[in-house]
Amino acid sequence: MSKKTHSEHSEDPQKVIEPLQDLQKALEKAQREADTFKDLALRSQADFDNFRKRMIREREEILKFGNANVLEKILPIVDHFEMGLHAAGKHENREELLKGFELIFQQMQAFLKDQNVEAFKSKGEAFDPNFHNCIAVLPNKDCADGTIVEVLKPGYKIGERLLRPASVVVANQPESHHE
């Protein structure tokens, strides 16, 4: 058995240090990349939070002020209606009053048309619960069962979508009694 000296057992220190230095550099590089990605993730999260808050604010503003344009168009009609009411109290001329209210009605119709809102025909049509609200049923020998004989409130659509059903009176054939 031979004894080995200390120098025979130890390797060249440079051979051990170089790989450790390379590992240290790789670790530092990986740490810098991780820090960069962490910073990017934090910024993205902050950007998303800001975007979400902005969308909530904009949605609230749209809900609060989205109909401002429509309401602005109604105001002149309200003004004319108010003037008509004041005039009604001072004038005894029913024809002038009627003309004033006809003008207001025409303004309202024009406004509704600008908003793509239209009244739909109901009188003489068959009752349809999807478009009509039956207020009363009257016996009527001249019309088929379920025919609308009177419109109490017109129905309106906005485009093809129902805005309000028509309130109607529907005909009913009286039963003949044979005894």
Concatenate the DSSP letters of all residues of 109-169 into one string: HHHHHHTTEEEE--TTSBP-TTTEEEEEEEE-TTS-TTBEEEEEE-EEEETTEEEEPEEEE
Alpha helix (H) ranges present in 66-161?
68-90, 94-114
User: 116-174 maps to which CATH number?
Assistant: 2.30.22.10
pLDDT in tens, the chain (179 residues): 555 555 544 567 778 888 889 999 999 999 999 999 999 999 999 999 999 999 999 998 887 777 777 777 787 787 888 777 777 777 677 777 778 888 888 888 888 888 888 899 999 999 999 999 999 999 999 999 999 999 999 999 988 899 899 999 999 987 754 44
Residue 67 is given by DSSP the state T
Beta bridge partners of 31: none
* CA dihedral angle for residue 48, residue 51, residue 55, residue 58, rounded to 10 degrees: 170
CB of 164 closer than 8 Å to CB of 132:
no
**And the tokens for 147?**
């025919």
**And the tokens for 117?**
């809102």
- Chain CA centroid to CA 161, Å: 14
Q: Where exactly are the structural domains of the chain? A: 15-65, 116-174
| 0.75 exceeded by pTM | no
pLDDT of residue 178: 46
d(CA 126, CA 148): 6
**Of 116, 117, 118, 122, residue with least CA distance to 167:** 122
d(CA 37, CA 41): 6
**And the tokens for 102?**
């006809």
178 phi and psi, to 5 degrees? -105, 125
pLDDT of residue 103: 86
Amino acid, res. 46: A
With tokens 């906005």, the residue in question is: 158
